[in-house]
Chain A
């Protein structure tokens, strides 16, 4: 097969690759841990994805890299920011998208997109762990609940604990005292989710978007966060089956565009 491309997203936690053919069909994807060496992680992700699609890596026609580690992919024909890639990927999956909420491991961003998938504006939180996946990670460790179990637990909560602090360190001590007071776990988790959502919500308000909203990034897998976010924005939110690979998907789309 000819003319296939790879998009690769080197993030702080995972490195994701998406292989796409000329007709914009996804042939395969992979998600690997970034670990210590981003260049190795990128190779591994590409090899795994190529293997799954039954392709030889040498035959790739174009490669676009994105993510914080995009500079660590020497083979890349082009590097594009994750902001542009998440926008392109989200519009590809959900054409009604006007706003992308990407909550990743170390930052969160809200992107306003035009009909053509181009970025019109964006807001980013990258100075502080509040409102990012890192916040949830810290809390999951504290509560001894696996990260991917947090969403389901919070859905079953009847009440909700109030976590008032936006600072991760302060919120952690709030959680400790809630635990000490025997507050039900699910209520604490729901309060934690609310805290993340409120923080991100403040960013979405700056962009004033009325159309379709798509959530990307690992945290979009958390049903609890999505439900609270939907409550906040007042409409249903599009969630991809694989929210983590949207950046890599966007990168693949850029690779096709430039061919």
Chain B
């Protein structure tokens, strides 16, 4: 590694980034002052800090190239291992969500489509391939990766998508293969996964040019686990009536646990957020002005509709207080245990919601509905995400039978709003509102 990028990176980290962070915070402040709506409670003070953190992350990533080993990582990959080698990590899914929220989905997707990628392919993949092919991104520039790190614990799509990336960047792809959990995780599956970690270490040493440090690895595990638990506590504050935050806030505040997991900043951030939420709870401050009904969300967010939806539901006194999606990062990462690092890492990552059977999902949803006192369920059938959307109609029916929870399915996509129809979604949601109001 040459010395110039290293110096530039250090300089940007210490001087450039704080400057940019300050600016990001200011922008946030101005917007928040103008955009606030009546049906919503006071905005979270933490949002400014979150914006700074994420801006810094993407800003610094531009200078990471050459200074630090760079990896592009899937959301469900055991990144803790990479952190032990000081990799700078970029999450194309998080970046895709960001593009989605800025309504850039169709534009970036169509670049990939122009190269022959099918519209049925996950839009995170299409956006990312579009970004690679065109260099377009709202964050300025993404660093060229040295390695790709993927796990099939979320879907099979990432296997093909990351192979395309490997071909494009002409770099190695490292795969963590997680057997699907049909009933329970057996010994041979755990051994199989642990062996993979053992094989990865010398490869990662070679690519990063750094020695594996067990001490550092354990520290990362400890931090990752603590942040996941803090995130869990953040979500648990929403059990309070009225809930101090909405799921739309949580979708946004999820970014650090996805992209910066295992880093000190994440733990520090969630502790600050947690104390703000606890303070709200003690003062009885709700995220929406008049919380009359409490809802649950299933599947990934519809990123381009977050703002509209938060208003639409808040106007009717309906607040989303839990989601299977946000819960995913609180659920299994806390299984990590520095005393038994490899095995616990294997468990934490192979038991995630999308690698687990439908019965597990049903039980999870039942538990969330009870714990969060949920009156209704909105199910997003996401055209992009087949593994998340399959089985939703069965879950809907079973939950209705068991808990008499009314629900509605809306067909949309996470970022590609060409697969979203305003008119039809409104009709479905209004019928759902009628139903839920009727229920008393």
Identify the A interface with B (CB < 8 A).
Answer: 68, 80-84, 107, 118-124, 126-127, 206-208
CB-based contact B434/A81 at 8 Å: yes
Q: Which residues of B contact A124 (CB under 8 A)?
A: 424, 427-428
Q: Is the interface of A mostly helix, strand, loop or mixed?
A: mixed
Q: Which A residue sits closest to B423, measured CB to CB? A: A68
Interface bits B397-440 vs A (CB < 8 Å: 1, else 0) = 10010000011010100000000010110011011001100100
Task: Report which of B407, B411, B423, B427 forms a contact with A83, defined as CB distance below 8 A.
Answer: B427
Residues of A within 8 A of B400 (CB): 120-121
Instruction: Report whether A84 and B431 are in contact in the complex, using a CB–CB cutoff of 8 Å.
Output: yes
Closest to B404 in A: A120
Nearest CB in chain A to that of B435: its residue: A119
Roughly how many angstroms separate A168 CA and B374 CA in the complex, as a whole number?
40
Q: Number of contacting residues on B, CB 8 A?
A: 17
B393 within 8 A of A: yes
For A107, the chain B residues whose CB sits under 8 A away are 424
Given A107-B424, A121-B406, A127-B411, answer yes or no on A80-B397 (Cβ-Cβ < 8 Å): no
Query: A96: shortest Cβ distance to chain B, in Å?
Result: 21
Tell me how far the C-beta of B399 lies from the nearest C-beta in chain A, rounded to whole angstroms: 11
Question: A121-B400, A206-B393, A208-B397 in contact; A81/B431 too (CB < 8 A)?
Answer: yes
User: Residue A206 contacts which of B397, B411, B421, B427 (CB distance < 8 angstroms)?
Assistant: B397
* Per-position binary interface string of chain B over residues 203-217, scored 1 when its CB falls under 8 Å from any chain A CB and 0 otherwise: 000000000000000
Q: 8 closest pairs, A vs B, by CB? A: A83-B431, A81-B431, A126-B424, A81-B430, A84-B434, A206-B393, A119-B435, A118-B438
Q: What are some 26 contacts across the A-B interface (CB < 8 A)?
A: A68-B423, A68-B427, A80-B434, A81-B427, A81-B431, A81-B434, A82-B427, A83-B431, A118-B435, A119-B431, A119-B435, A119-B438, A120-B406, A120-B435, A121-B400, A121-B406, A122-B431, A123-B409, A124-B424, A124-B427, A126-B421, A126-B424, A126-B427, A206-B393, A206-B397, A207-B397
CB distance from A54 to the nearest CB of B (A): 33
Nearest CB on B from A232, distance (A): 19
Question: Quick one: closest A residue to B434, CB to CB?
Answer: A84
Q: How far is the CA of A207 from the CA of B401 in the complex (A)?
A: 11
Task: Produce 1/0 per residue, B144-188, CB < 8 A to A.
Answer: 000000000000000000000000000000000000000000000
Q: Which residue of B lies closest to A112 (CB)?
A: B400
CB neighbours (8 Å) of A126 from chain B are 421, 424, 427
Cα A120 to Cα B431 in complex, Å, equals: 10
> Please, which residues of chain A bring their CB within 8 A of the CB of B431?
81, 83-84, 119, 122
CB proximity of A6 to chain B, nearest CB, Å: 20
Q: How distant is the Cα of A80 from the Cα of B438 in the complex, in angstroms?
A: 13
In the bound complex, residues from chain A placing their C-beta under 8 Å from that of B430 are 81
**Bound state CA distance, A2 and B407, in angstroms?**
40
What residues on A are CB-neighbors of B393 within 8 Å?
Answer: 123, 206
- Chain A CB within 10 Å — which of B393, B427, B430 has the most? B427
